[in-house]
Structure formats: C-alpha cells, structure tokens
Chains A and B, each alone.
Chain A
Amino acid sequence: MATIVVEHISKSYTNDKKTQIGISDLSFTVNKGEIFGLIGPDGAGKTTLIRILTTLLLADSGTASVDGNDVVKDYKAIRNNIGYMPGRFSLYQDLSVEENLNFFATAFKTTVEENYELIKDIYVQIEPFKTRRAGKLSGGMKQKLALCCALVHKPSVLFLDEPTTGVDAISRREFWDMLKRLKTQGITILVSTPYMDEANLCDRIALIQGGKILVIDSPEEIKHNYKHALWAIKTEDMFKSLIDLRTFNSTLSCFSFGDVHHLSVKDNITTKEDILNFLKEKGHTEIDVQPISANIEDCFMELMTKTNTSNTLVNA
C-alpha cells in the first residue's frame, strides 16, 4: 500500500539571482515501511519536494498525499502524524539535549518515556551529554538529537532532508544503521541526500536533477540497467589521461571518480588491450585498467547526459 503518493507535482519560484528553479511534474509513490531516497545534487529540488509533502509549501499544480491525507486539505492531520527533520539544524541551541527532547515530546502531546523504546538506540548515544546545550554538540550528535526529536512521537512517516550532510563518515554510517532499525518498526522513511553512495542503503531511490526525476527504481535495478561496459582506469598523469580518454574513438563518456577514471564505451567489442594500447600511444605510463560494474553515480551521470542530450534535441 502506498503511504506517500505524489502526482504531477510542480512548483517553481525565482531565487535571489532571479533564475527559475523548482520542480516540474514529479510523480512517484512510496510504499509503507520503505526507505525511499531522493538522490540528487544541491538545487535539484529535494528540499522543495519534502517541504511540499510536509505541508510547508503549496505546490503550483498536482496533488500529493501522505497516509491518505491530502497535503493541502488535510494538512493538520499530516502535521499530527509525521516526523520531520529539516536540512538545517532546527532545534533550540540554548536548550539542553534533554530539554529539547522533552519540549518536542510535549509539543506532540506525548512523553519521552512513552516512546522511549523507539528512540532508545539513538538516545543512549547522546545521553552522556543530556545536560549539554544543543548548540554545543558536534555535527553528528546534533543530527542524532534532531532524529530523536523527530521520532519522539512515534510518527508513521519520517521525512529527513539531507540528514547526513556535514556529518563525518562514521556518524553517517551509524545514522543509516538507525534508519534500518526504524524501518523494522514499520516507519516509512523518505530521505534526501546528495551522497550517491548512500543510495545503496535505500530500498528504492529517485534520482533527481534540475527538478526532474531521471529514474525511480531500486538501486540494484538501476545499476543492473546500466548497459555499457565500464572500466576503471589509473595512469601516472591523471589529468592528461582524462582529456585523452575523451578523444578515444569508442568512448561514450569518461568521468573522474576520486583516484580513478570511469570510462564507459559505446560497444562491447572494445577490449582491455585496446584501451591499454590507446593510452600507451598517447605516452601514458603506469597504466592500470580494470573492468568494473556500474555504481549509482555512473548511472546518474549517464542518465543526466542522456536527459541533457534529449533536451537539447527537443530544443533544437
């Protein structure tokens, strides 16, 4: 059964620089007890979409519902039943950990004790600091506290807007472990993130770019649908090899991924030797070429280029 239903939602507005931004014609559903990820770079429209679903913004057109409640008509019912963690740390910095938690518990007409089971795993980690002011916590601790506050009333749906942005790698992993545990409690989770590696931790994801959805599927399925052969390539001079590889005859695309280049080729007959020979010809040394399977970022890059090209074609 679908907990969140989004149908043809569009919203556009101009930002400070007077450029049109927003989301256009988004449709998807999130099933009960699912971790659904909105994956996309900054400015893709993730926050706008989450704010529409949390009844904080009105869409220009389209409809959406959460738990069967319309986001416009039944906004009060939605506000009673969801947990929301905004992208920016939005707790009271001058209140202690404990005071923040108690305040949000009472605000939702419940007590910390009543739903302690739900937040216990997370709360024990910040409990040693419970008398500390929230403003004095570290980034990871802040996020854990914010998650506790969003969970304290046992919401049926949890909206998390970039919960791991600005958080260290270990805290990020811990945070995702918590989300997995919450999922077992039957809570539906909609989470947005700019980190592609976190996509694998979601049940299903929507890749968003420029206010449009590129694809919606499970991460495995999306990766499986990547049809091109992919190679990870290392050379002595990485900058020059990136430029050279882009001139290679069978290159479809070549992007830099940290310390390696990901090269996708047009056909399946290009072999490792072909690539090695090409690079040697260009005078590269210490060449390492390995076949790899696509990760989400590869898929995102491919989908993005594809959409851009088709857009250009339409415009032309």
Chain B
Amino acid sequence: MKQFISFVKKEFYHIFRDWRSLMLLIGIPITQILILGFAVTDEIKNSEIAILDNAQDAASQNLEGRFRASKYFHIVKMLHTPDEIDREFRKGKIKIAVVFPKGLREDLMHGNKAQIEIVADASDPNMATVISGYASAIILDYQQEIISDNLPYFITTKIRMLYNPELKGAYNFVPGLMGLILMLICAMMTAVAIVREKELGTMEVLLVSPIKPYMIVIAKALPYTLLSLINTTIILLLSVYALKVPIAGSVVLLLLESLLFIIASLSLGLMISTIAKTQQAAMMMSIVGLMVPTTMLSGYIYPIENMPLILQWASHIIPAKWYINIVKAVMIKGLGFQSVIKENLILLGFIVLLIWGSVQRFKIRLE
C-alpha cells in the first residue's frame, strides 16, 4: 500500500511540475465552454432572410419595415411563390423565410387573429432557434403595438424547422463537450503518461522491481481520474451559472455517471498505451482514433439520426455517444437511473473489454 501511495505521489509530482500541460488540461474545458457558449451562439446579426408577402397590405408592409430596420436581419430577397422558399434554402442563401398570409390585415381587423409562418433552416439547430426567436419577437412587438389601440388582436407565429424538425441539438453541446473533454484528458493523458515511461526508459527500471504492473497502471490513472472529476465540476458550474443550462436531474447521479465514463476513457487510454511506442504515437492515436470519431459520431456536432445508416452503426462503438445520451437524459431531461440502465451496461461492457484486452497486451518484458 505504501508502495502504491508513493507511486501516486510521484504521478502527482509529474503532473504538477509540468504546469504548462496542467494549465492546458484545466484551460481547455473552460475556454471551450466559454467559446461555444458565448462567442458561437451569441447574438446573430444580419441573418439573411427572405420574405414572401402574400398579403401586400398595410400590416405586411409594416412588418416588412420592421424586419428591414432590425439589425438582426438582412432581407436578401422578396419572394413571389411558395416554391421559391425551398429553392432559396437549397441554395443556402437564406437562414429563414417569413410568409405573410393572404389578407393579413383583413384577418387582424375582422377575425382578430392572424397566422404568420416562419420557416427556418434547422440544420444548425441552435442558430435556427435563435433566429426564429428573434423573428417571433419582432412580430410580437408589432402585435403589442396594435393591442395598444385597445383591440384584442392576436398574431400567432407558426415556426417550421426544416431538416431537423425536433430540434434535438438544442442543449447538445454541454453534454457533448463533457464527453469530449473527459475522453481527451483521460484517454490521451493516461496513454501518454504510460508511454512516456517506456520512451524515457524508466519503464525498464520499474519492470525490474517488485512493483506489480497493475499497480503502475492504476497509480497512473488515479491522478487523471481526480483531474477529470474536477473538470466535470468546472464544466457543470460553468454551464449552470454562465450558460444557464440547468441540471434537471440528480447532480450525484450525473457525477457518478461521469465517473463511469472516466473509467471507460481511462481503459481506452490504457489500451492505446499498450500499442503505442512513443508519446507522439500515443497522442496521434488518441486524436485520430478517439477525438475525431468522438466529435463526428457521438452526436455532439452532427445529429446521429441524420447520419447514413452505416455511420449510425459505427456510432455505437463510440463510448462518448452513450455517455452523452446519459448526460442528456439526466442533466437536460431530468430522468433517473432507470432510464439510462442500457447505456450504463454498455459503458461497463466497454470497460471490461478494454481492461481485459490491455492486461492481455501489457508487456512484462521489453519488446
């Protein structure tokens, strides 16, 4: 036990003395979440918009003027037929289209009620929500003004999301980022730390000692587990307080699930360390073999539902995908453990398989 503690202590020395890497480890999640949370989804200016004015009356003129005046929108085209909407979207020229119905003013004056259609390109769901929200706000503004004439007018907006009708990417990036960051730190750093011993020749000395190989590995993994838990906490705090993404479910459950995923990532790193011979190779394997598939296939950036079938299958072997599902369920939807049992079992399966494989491959001798 004393042997183990001194080993863990040594690992902490390694981490704390390489303060540049440490800053990177803590800094990456903070910057990522701040960039994605503010810079990327912050207010959208001059979004291209097309208007199909079927009404051609005072009310539609007024609304059109409001859109024209808004700094959020830039009217690129006035449309004449409904078919044009689709064509413009396909060309990628516009982000949303606003459709004023025939007899807008008439409806308002006599029926006290009108419906305006907003069509949005939801291939980027976050953007689509924000833009259509702005558009609705402008219309609502107009409604408020005519109500002030003491007449109860209602304009309802009907928002139609193209390409991704359920808007599943809404709170996508916090869970996605958690998956990515934990994967990066645990898998890559563990792999690199173990391979570094091989590369620097210290593994040679460790092997010729009574230290058990599993002890070497666990001692290496422990500091990174702690570091990852700290990172998870930072991400959660930032998303709750800075990005206002609430944690709907149990925080304890969320942290426990994160721990499970951390262990899965560590075992992946362990597997990599048994294959890679140099730190650089370990780094490349982690980036190409883990980061890229995780970013692409975990549903973090591109919704899995929209992928070709073969990529959907491929996504099953990405541990982060299951973790992201869990985070979405627990954090966003507020569901309990029962609803994520399947994901838990799959992650557990990954862990068992990877650790078994690594133990098989761990070399008690040099090549």
Contact = CB atoms under 8 A, between A and B. Distances in A.
Interface residues of A, number: 30
A90 B201 contact: yes
Contacts of A88: 201
B6 A94 contact: no
B10 A51 contact: no
Contacts of B17: 94
B208 A106 contact: no
A102 B206 CA distance: 14
B2 A106 contact: yes
Contacts of B208: 54-56, 79, 82, 84
Interface string A63-99: 0000000000001100110101010111111110001
B365 A90 contact: no
Given A56-B208, A108-B209, A94 B202 contact: no
B360 interface: no
Contacts, number: 73
A109 B212 CA distance: 12
A57 interface: yes
The prevalent SS among residues of B at the interface is: helix
A56 B204 contact: yes
A57 B365 contact: yes
B241 interface: no
Contacts of B10: 92, 95, 99, 103
B77 interface: no
Contact of A107 (B3, B13, B200, B364): B3
A142 to B, nearest CB: 12
A94 B200 contact: no
Contacts of A84: 204-205, 208
B361 interface: no
A79 B366 CA distance: 14
Query: For B18, B209, B366, which residue has the most chain A Cβ atoms within 10 angstroms?
Result: B209
A58 interface: yes
Given A92-B13, A107-B206, 9 more contacts: A56-B208, A56-B365, A56-B366, A75-B364, A89-B201, A93-B200, A94-B17, A107-B7, A107-B209
Q: Which A-B residue pairs are the 6 nearest by beta carbons?
A: A90-B201, A106-B6, A84-B208, A88-B201, A94-B17, A56-B366
6 contacts: A79-B209, A86-B201, A89-B201, A91-B202, A91-B205, A94-B13
